A = this chain, B = another copy of it.
């Protein structure tokens, strides 16, 4: 009965919710929209989700959990702040590029949660952003980064990278690796990093995202 259930129908419910919440927003998506998309009656929906809000919370928690796990895996054992931050950027960008719906829901719908539910989600998000903040601080202390305002720069970078979810298309000119590499370069420039070195290990980051999220759903041939 919980949102984490995974029968064939439960999976359809989750996918329908991710798609519609991303496209129309939580409040813009009705139960009947979900039911139609999931090919179930609206009453049957309630076997798989608790309430609509619990469904949203489940999606957000899972997505943030994946993001956090991915980021930690990607930087595990990496000491150089430039490589660490580069990997954070790359994982973030790739995740937002291959999972634009989940990540947009996380970015846009926090306000739709009730205060109690929101608390847990915000804690996860804060834990994730803390990884960025710590890494930037380390880079500053190590003399690698020279941002004017570390906190402002962190926020600016996060917004910039998250924005990818809103426009990136795998059918566009850029491959995922090119995109992520470009953003890593932008980040280094923003941090005033003169010698950004060879750039983060793109392949490893890509593998981490795939490990955490599973293979992306087959890319639909139209739309986006």
Footprint of B on A, CB under 8 Å? 23-28, 108, 111-112, 148-149, 152-153, 155-160, 162-164, 166-167, 173-174, 178-179, 182-183, 185-186, 189-190, 192
Contact = CB atoms under 8 A, between A and B. Distances in A.
A28 B24 CA distance: 12
- 3 A-B pairs with least C-beta separation: A159-B163, A27-B27, A160-B160
A152 B174 contact: yes
A155 B149 contact: no
Contact of A179 (B28, B152, B178): B152
Contacts of A112: 25, 28
Contact of A182 (B148, B164, B167, B173): B148
Nearest to A165: B159
Given A25-B27, A156-B163, A148 B111 contact: no
A148 B180 CA distance: 12
A162 to B, nearest CB: 7
